[in-house]
Amino acid sequence: MKSILLVEDDKSLNQGIALKLKKEGYRVSSAFSLGEAEELFDSAAWDLIICDVGLPDGSGLDFCRTVRQVSDVFILFLTALDSEIDMVTAYDLGADDYMTKPFSLMVLVSKVHAFMRRAKEAPAVRILSGDILFSLREMKAFRQRQEGGPEPIPLSKKELQLLLCLMENACQILTREQILEQVWGMEGQFVDDNTVPVNISRLKGKIGGSYIQNVRGIGYIWTEESFRE
């Protein structure tokens, strides 16, 4: 089931939109403030965000800016603002569409259907596992925080490739040879025997937690389930 994050502080409008979209077969989670939106965004994978610009504790434009640092999820703005500068700002920040209140609920539903058709065809752009987020488009890793936006994890190019290899094979034991083949390729024939354990140790130190475990005499495993979106 496709999931939608609805950010709208007007409770009656929020409930009305959510009810209609649920009847259309979508899973909808509602936020009524910027803080709630940030918390919900970090808690799950979303196919579409419908967001008001004017929120009681901030701007939906700021939320869009934060989201675009780590995700290409579709963003549709709903707002009472209709000035050209607001529309331009929204698009410049990465919004996919913009509807001015009052609007037709049927037109909104039609737009949602169109976004979902596009989402079905779009390739995955990030991998989520625990509080670790890997952006495939940017080739960057982030740690998701309960407060504030995602925090970049400073990793070298090889460390990023190693992390991606482990996350893409989550909950599966990878041997040293498999890691060498996937991360180092032809170079793996000429690297030192300690290359994999040294790089694994460095990555574990930067990632933290117990995501990466040594399997004695066999290899390594990423212990948390990963989700592509």
The CATH number covering residue 54 comes to 3.40.50.2300
Is there a single domain that holds both residue 112 and residue 135? no
- Write down the pLDDT at residue 88: 83
Please tell me the total count of domains within the chain.
2
Q: Which residues of the chain, if any, have pLDDT below 70?
A: 82-85, 120-124, 147-149, 186-190
- Write down the pLDDT at residue 72: 81
Structural domain of residue 109, as residue ranges?
3-122
Q: How far apart are CA 109 and CA 101, in angstroms?
A: 15
Q: How far apart are CA 54 and CA 36, in angstroms?
A: 14
Contact 108, 79 (CB under 8 A): no
- Write down the pLDDT at residue 137: 75
- Write down the pLDDT at residue 136: 82
- Write down the pLDDT at residue 186: 63
Is there a single domain that holds both residue 138 and residue 189? yes
CATH number of the domain encompassing residue 132:
1.10.10.10
Strand-pair category, 132-135 with 140-143: antiparallel
Is there a single domain that holds both residue 181 and residue 84? no
pLDDT tens digits for 47-73?
Answer: 899 999 989 999 999 999 888 887 888
- Write down the pLDDT at residue 93: 86
Own/partner contacts of 211-217, CB < 8 Å, gap of 24 or more, are 211/129, 211/130, 211/132, 211/166, 212/166, 215/173
Tokens of 194: 């300690």
Q: Which helix (H) or strand (E) holds 113?
A: helix 105-121
Overall pTM surpassing 0.85 (yes/no): no
Rounded to whole angstroms, what are the CA distances from 183 to 38, 103, 127, 163? 34, 50, 17, 9
Is there a single domain that holds both residue 133 and residue 101? no
Tokens of 228: 């592509």
Is there a single domain that holds both residue 172 and residue 92? no
Final residue before a domain boundary, out of 74, 106, 122: 122
Final residue before a domain boundary, out of 122, 137, 153: 122
Beta-bridged to residue 89, according to DSSP, are: none
Rounded to whole angstroms, what are the CA distances from 72 to 38, 50, 186? 15, 14, 33
- Write down the pLDDT at residue 46: 86
Is there a single domain that holds both residue 110 and residue 138? no
Is there a single domain that holds both residue 147 and residue 165? yes
Is there a single domain that holds both residue 64 and residue 159? no
